[in-house]
Each structure stands twice: as C-alpha cells, then as structure tokens.
C-alpha cells in the first residue's frame, strides 16, 4: 500500500529513486518490476507495480477498438506504458516522452494512491493541491458519491 506525498529528485539521466519504505513491497511482490504511463486527465504520470498494471491492462483490453473514445484511451495509456525495473539503488528510469508529458524537471513529488503512485512536477503538484483544497472547501464540492462520506 502506497501512501503519502514524498519529494524526490530526477537525476540528469532521468532516474528517480523510489523511497526506501516502498522498495521491499515492490521487490517482494513484483521483483522490482513496475510500469509507468501518462495520466490522461492530469499532467502527471501513473506508476504501477507490475501486478497492479496487469489488472489495468485487462480492463483496457476489454474496451472496444471500434468505439473512438475507448480506442483513444487504449492508445494513450498503452502507447505510453513503459516497463521500469528498479535497479540496485532503488531507482527507475523515466523515458523522455513520459517526462515531457508531466513537465518533469529536477524536483518531483511521488504521491501514493494505495495501489499506484502519481509522479508530479513539484510545481504542478503544489498548484494542483492548492486548487483541490480551494474546491474542497467550497459548497460545489459535494457530489452524490461524497454526501454520505465521512472521515
């Protein structure tokens, strides 16, 4: 389970070190194998342990190739999907197209989403969180799904 937001750095070769607290789970369950792709709604990346990514692939495979919207989703998510293997130092390499999509430079945020991570440019992350907090405190935030949700 991946939780929390962690500031990490992108090195000059395009590598990111996975925080130590997550490495053993990734190594034990997936032998260090991960898959990274783009988020189609946000300027960030989605980084899945291999077993979680395989569930997403099955869902994408079930979509229709004849429906233009479903085909578009398949094309973007599968077309950008890149295998990432943790090296001995716990680093993964992010490809150029992935880094470009998320506007990644040196400072990044690795954000746990339980079954996956989001990878954000630190600048984009802080802007998104500010927007989320602003919307979250407004009356417009209450959707049907959240009306009975409590913390």
Q: In three state form, how does the secondary structure of 18-55 look?
A: CCHHHHHHHHHHHCCEEEEEECCCCCCEEEEEHHHHHH
- Taking CA atoms, 67 is separated from 1, 23, 55, 73, in Å, by 34, 39, 21, 10
Residue owning tokens 């799904």: 145
> 139: pLDDT confidence band, cut at 50, 70 and 90?
low
Which pLDDT score, from 0 to 100, does residue 62 have?
Answer: 96
Which pLDDT score, from 0 to 100, does residue 67 have?
Answer: 95
Which pLDDT score, from 0 to 100, does residue 111 have?
Answer: 98
Task: Look up the pTM and report it.
Answer: 0.92
Q: Per-residue pLDDT averaged across 82-90, rounded?
A: 97
CA 93 from chain centre, in angstroms, equals: 14
Tokens found for residue 4? 């929390």
Type and span of the H or E element at 17: strand 15-17
Give the Cα-Cα-Cα angle 76, 77, 78 (nearest 5 degrees): 95
Q: Per-residue pLDDT averaged across 115-131, rounded?
A: 97
Q: Per-residue pLDDT averaged across 81-92, rounded?
A: 97
Q: Per-residue pLDDT averaged across 38-57, rounded?
A: 97
> 148: pLDDT confidence band, cut at 50, 70 and 90?
confident
Mean pLDDT (the chain, rounded): 93
| pLDDT exceeds cutoff 90 at 130 | yes
């Amino acid at each position: 389970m991946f939780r929390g937001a962690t500031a990490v750095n992108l090195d000059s070769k395009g590598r990111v070190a996975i925080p130590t607290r997550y490495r053993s789970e990734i190594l034990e369950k997936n032998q260090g194998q991960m898959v990274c792709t783009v988020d189609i709604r946000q300027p960030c990346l989605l980084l899945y342990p291999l077993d979680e990514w395989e569930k997403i692939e099955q869902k994408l495979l079930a979509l229709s190739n004849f429906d233009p919207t479903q085909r578009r989703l398949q094309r973007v998510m599968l077309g950008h999907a890149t295998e990432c293997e943790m090296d001995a130092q716990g680093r993964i390499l992010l490809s150029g197209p992935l880094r470009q999509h998320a506007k990644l430079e040196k400072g990044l945020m690795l954000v746990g989403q339980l079954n996956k991570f989001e990878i954000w440019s630190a600048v984009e992350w802080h802007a998104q969180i500010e927007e989320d907090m602003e919307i979250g405190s407004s009356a417009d935030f209450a959707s049907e799904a959240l009306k009975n949700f409590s913390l």
